[in-house]
Amino acid sequence: MNRVISFFKKPCRWAAMYGVILALAFTLVLLDVFVIPKAQVRVEPPATPVYPESSEHDDSAGYIVPDAATNTAEKEEDKDEAAEENLPANPVITDTSYVDKNISISIDTVRNNATTLYVADIQISNVSYLKTALAKNVFGRNIKQTTSAMAEERQAIFAVNGDYYGFRDTGYVLRNGVNYRDSGKDNALVIDSGGNLSIAHEGAVSMETLVAGGAWQIFSFGPVLVLDGEITVDDSSEVGRAKRGNPRTAIGQAGELHYIVIVSDGRTKESQGLSLLELAEEFAERGCSVAYNLDGGGSSTMVFNGRIVNNPTDGRREGEREVSDIVYIGYE
C-alpha cells in the first residue's frame, strides 16, 4: 500500500493516468450513445403480409391472409400472385398527388409563420396501407437509414420519418403488432387496428393492455398537439431543450382512415421553423381530432413517389439525416 502511495506521490503520475482513463470513459460513452450500432431484434417479415382485420378492406388490392393448411410451395405461389395483385390498376400520379382505388394522397405546399410547410392529405381504404418500417429491418440502437432509402426499399408511395426510437432507451415501440420495447413514461401515439389515432400515457397503461385493446403501431415522442379537437400545447411548449423554431414532422387524424401529415422546413434563411403551438394550429385548422409530434429537426423528411419533398437540414448542413424508422403509405 505504501509503495502505491509513494508511486502516486510523484507529481503528475496520478493525474496523467486518471486523465487518460477519464477521457477514454467519456469517449466510450459518447460512442455508445451516438455511434455504435446495437441490434436487438431482426424484423422477420411474414411469408405473406398479414394485416389486422378490417371490414372495409378491398380484397382486389391483393393482400392474402396465409392459410395454415397450405404448404410452402403453395405459399410461394400465393406470394407471387399477391405481389402482382398488390399493384393497383391505373393510379393517377402527379408531382403532388397520387390516386388509386385504395389510396388518395395530395400534398400542398403552404407558407405560414415565415416557414414552408408540406401538408399531406391522405385517405386510404384500409389501415393496412398505413405502414411502418425499421431501418435495415432491425430494431436496435444506432441502427439507421435515411427516410428516402427506407421508402425506396419498400416502394412507398409516401413516407415520413418516425419517432427515432433508436436514439433513446425508453418509450413504447410497437410496430406492425410486434412489441419491441415496453418501458416509458410519456404520452405515446397509438394507431389501432381500425386505423384510429389515440393517445396513451406509458406510465398509466401497459403495453399488454394496449395490444389487447387493438394497438397496432405505437410511437413515443410527442408532445400531443391536438386531442379531442383541442390544441394541447401552448407557446412555451417544447421538445426537451429544443428551441422554438424547428423543422417538424407530425401526424394527425381528420376522419376515418383520413390522415394529415405535416412536415415543415426550418433552421434556414427561408424558413425559421414552427413552434409546437403553430404546428398544432395547422392540425386544428384542418379538423384533426388527434395530432402528435414525431421526431423533428434534422430528421424531418417527407418523401413522395421517390422524391424528397421538403428541405431536410439540421441547420449546419443540408441533406437527410439517417433515422431509425419511418411511417409510410404503400402496398409493399
Partner 1 sequence: MSISAMNRRWLVRTALIFLLVSAACIAATNIYALFGHGVRSASMDTMFLYPLLMGAAPWLLLAALFPMMGRRRLFRPAFNLYNSGIAALTTGAMLNGILEIAGTASAYQPLFMAAGWIFVFIGFILFLIPDSGGRTDRKAKNP
Report the nearest approach of partner 1 to the CB of residue 222 (Å): 12
Report the nearest approach of partner 1 to the CB of residue 81 (Å): 45
Report the nearest approach of partner 1 to the CB of residue 278 (Å): 17
Contact, 155 vs 318, CB < 8 A? no
Map residue 305 onto helix, strand or coil: coil
Q: What's the one-letter identity of residue 144?
A: K
Backbone φ/ψ region at 12: left (φ over 0), alpha (ψ -120 to 50), beta: left
Report the nearest approach of partner 1 to the CB of residue 164 (Å): 9
Report the nearest approach of partner 1 to the CB of residue 265 (Å): 14
> CA 144, CA 7: separation in Å to the nearest integer?
47
Report the nearest approach of partner 1 to the CB of residue 161 (Å): 14
> CA 183, CA 200: separation in Å to the nearest integer?
13
By the criterion CB under 8 A, which residues form the site for partner 1? 5, 8-9, 14-15, 18-19, 22, 25-26, 28-30, 32-34, 167-169, 239-243, 246, 267, 315-316
Contact, 90 vs 78, CB < 8 A? no
Task: Quote the distance between the C-alpha of residue 237 and its chain's center.
Answer: 21
Between 187 and 289, name the residue whose CB sits nearer to partner 1. 187
Between 87 and 242, name the residue whose CB sits nearer to partner 1. 242
Report the nearest approach of partner 1 to the CB of residue 9 (Å): 5
Q: How are strands ordered across the β-sheet holding 302-304?
A: 130-134, 325-329, 158-161, 302-304, 307-308
* Neighbour count for residue 168 (Cβ, 10 Å): 16
> CA 293, CA 279: separation in Å to the nearest integer?
9
Among 94, 209, 96, 151, residue whose Cα is nearest residue 331 = 151
Report the nearest approach of partner 1 to the CB of residue 7 (Å): 11
Contact, 324 vs 144, CB < 8 A? yes
> What is the residue-wise DSSP string for 101-139?
SSEEEEEEEEEETTEEEEEEEEEESSGGGEEEEEGGGEE
Report in angstroms the alpha-carbon separations of 298 from 260, 261, 295, 315: 21, 17, 9, 7
